[in-house]
Structure formats: structure tokens, C-alpha cells
Amino acid sequence: MNIDASLKGNYEADIGGIVRDYKGKFLLAFGRKKIHWDITQLEMVVIKELEDVLNGRFCGVEGIIVEGDNKNVIDILHKVHSIPKNMDEGSMIEDSSLLIEVNNVIFHWVNHGCNRLADFCASHAVSLDFIWDLFCENVLPSCFCNMVKEECVEVPHI
């Protein structure tokens, strides 16, 4: 899962993300319009919104990798997730059942260039909230589809 947030000077904000399977195949993308003033807090909100977007779609998932281009946020998420669940420090993020239910969560920082699809989703949310999945292929913007295709690299079988 790649996540991103975009903050404008007038408190308009957008969040977005993309979910892929373990082979990198596109499963779902989302974007939501928000009002906020702090980019760090806004990127933390993406995790909570991700739960709403997924809404039970991936029950039984044994592990996830969350990637983002804000190193501070990734470090905070990693630290909070590694704290034992019964300690109060976990409340730094709103109770996130996604992070509690999935035992194997890896938070990984990526440079901005590797987070283009999540950035596109956050930027696209300026005009409307959306959830795209495999069942709504006809409404996916062609530029988004082209970016997904560009990122797909066949892994050679050994």
C-alpha cells in the first residue's frame, strides 16, 4: 500500500493511496478531500481512512507493507506499531484496527518518485472523493492506467 497527502496553503488537503497485491498487481486506489493544517497529522489520517476504504475487503491478510514518502510519518508509524498493544503510547494514532488486526506490518519510506501513484490519487481528490478497484475499470483515468502500466515490471521466474 502506498499512501500520500497533499496540503495547500488555504487548509485544503487531499489524501490518497493505492493498494497492490503481493505481486504488485493493482487492486484498489482511493482519494479523499480533507481540511487540515499539518502535513504530518494529515498523513497519519491516511491510515485511518485506509481502514474505511478497505472496509473488510482484505480479511485474512497476513501482512501488509505500507510505503510513504514522508520519512517522519513512516518512522512514527513504525515506532507506534512496534509498541506492545496494551501500552498507551499506541494511542498516538487513533485506534487503528488495521494496524492491530494485521500482525505483520512493515512501514517503508520511499522517495517521492516511487510514490507517484499515491501522489496522483491525493492530487486527483481535489475534484472528488473516489475509490477505484478492479470492478470499475471503465472509470479509471487513462493517465492513471498508464502510470500503473509503467510501474508494472515483470519479475523473471527462476
156 within some domain? no
71 within some domain? yes
8 within some domain? yes
157 within some domain? no
Strand partners, 34: 13
pLDDT at 157: 43
Q: Yes or no: say if 73 and 48 are a contact pair by the CB < 8 Å rule.
A: no
Q: What is the pTM of this model?
A: 0.80
Q: Yes or no: say if 71 and 109 are a contact pair by the CB < 8 Å rule.
A: yes
> pLDDT (tens digit, 9 = 90+) per residue, 57-102?
777 778 889 999 999 999 988 887 776 555 454 444 555 556 666 7
142 within some domain? yes
pLDDT at 11: 84
124 within some domain? yes
Task: Name the domain count of the chain.
Answer: 1
For 61-98, the DSSP string reads --EEEEEES-HHHHHHHHHHHHS-TTSGGGGGS---HH
The domain that holds 141 is classified in CATH as 3.30.420.10
97 within some domain? yes
For residue 105, give its domain range. Answer: 2-151
Q: Scanning the structure block, which residue is given the C-alpha cell 496553503?
A: 9
- DSSP class of 155: P
158 within some domain? no
